[in-house]
Amino acid sequence: MSRVCWGVFRESTHSPGRESDDTEILRLTGKHLEAKGFHVELKTADEVTEAEEVWPRFVFLMCERLDVLERLRTLEVSGVPQVNTPRAVHNTYRDRMVAVLDEASVPFIPSRIVATSEPPEPSAPPVWVKRGDVHNTQEGDVVFATTTAAIETALQGLAQRGIKRAVLQPHVEGDLIKFYGIGAGGGPHREPPWFRWFYHKDQKLSGNPLDQRMLARLVRRAAAALGLEVYGGDAIATATGELVLLDVNAWPSFALYRDEASAAIASYLALRFSGGKR
């Protein structure tokens, strides 16, 4: 039992419309890890907070709630390696992400953090209004506001739900890219990290120029700054060839690449849990 690993599911409230994709990637990763000789136990976030005394040797996690991350953090401090680390997951909370990427000088969509309780300094619409903490969990969390009144309504809606901070971002025109990555780069054999990207399907592409190496580098820099090892997100390729990073998420569903990604994550975890750092 020395190689007992916990895999922790994402809270279903954090997976709107993606519950089964999020569940499947964790399950499949667990299967691949079992084949490598680990004993995997899959847990819900609630089971982690309720667990007592019998702790695993390693944890891989998709959960995001702060109380669960705190619990896992105490385990980590006592020597249980985790992917992603609880701190890295916390860093994807939108307001923290903005601050961490800014501190690390990683280019990110210009983002203004505002209190939801008062009307903001005027921003020229159209503007995206996003809750300041977790990513999109329900209607009203990520809103495209085309007028000043709509910005205020979106902020009031968040305030009424007890969400204190919001992030305001300008609207960027261009081709929407989704990406997935595994590993922060520079592993023991300097193997390139696993990285895939594709154009989001629900859009009419403008055919803007896109430098794939620049995209991979931008994403790796962001992931490294946030401390993420399994990640995904969104970027826009603009008409001038600029790449604008919109969002980085911890351990996404990898939906289009589930089989390939779950095997790659399991290999990465096996290495990481055997003492190889990254």
Ligand X SMILES: Nc1ncnc2c1ncn2[C@@H]1O[C@H](COP(=O)(O)OP(=O)(O)OP(=O)(O)O)[C@@H](O)[C@H]1O
Nearer to ligand X, 56 or 116 (CB): 116
The strand order across the sheet containing 127-131 reads 112-115, 165-170, 127-131, 142-145
Distances 73 to 10, 56, 89, 175, 273 between C-alpha atoms, Å: 16, 13, 11, 38, 16
Within the chain, residue ranges assigned H as helices are 19-35, 45-50, 66-77, 86-91, 94-103, 148-160, 212-226, 258-273
> Nearest distance from residue 203's CB to ligand X, in Å?
8
Smallest gap from residue 112 Cβ to Mg ion (A):
18
Number of other CB atoms surrounding residue 230 within 10 Å? 29
Give the total residue count for the chain.
Answer: 278
In the set 171, 196, 217, 258, which binds ligand X (CB under 6 A)? 171
Site string for ligand X, 90-119 (x = CB under 6 A): -------------------x----------
State the nearest-atom distance from the C-beta of 275 to ligand X, in Å: 33
The letter for the amino acid at 94 is R
Stretch that binds Mg ion, among 2-10, 41-49, 113-121, 247-255 (CB under 5 A): 247-255
Q: Does 169 bind ligand X (CB under 6 A)?
A: yes
250: partner contacted, choices Mg ion, ligand X, none (Cβ within 5-8 A by kind): none
Q: Judged by CB under 5 A, does residue 21 bind Mg ion? A: no
For residues 63 and 65, give the distance between their C-alpha atoms in angstroms, rounded to a whole number: 6
Task: Give the position of tokens 């506001």.
Answer: 145
* Residue with smaller CB distance to ligand X, 83 or 97: 97
Give contact residues for ligand X (rule: CB under 6 A): 109, 128, 130, 135-136, 142, 169, 171-172, 176, 234, 236, 246-247, 249
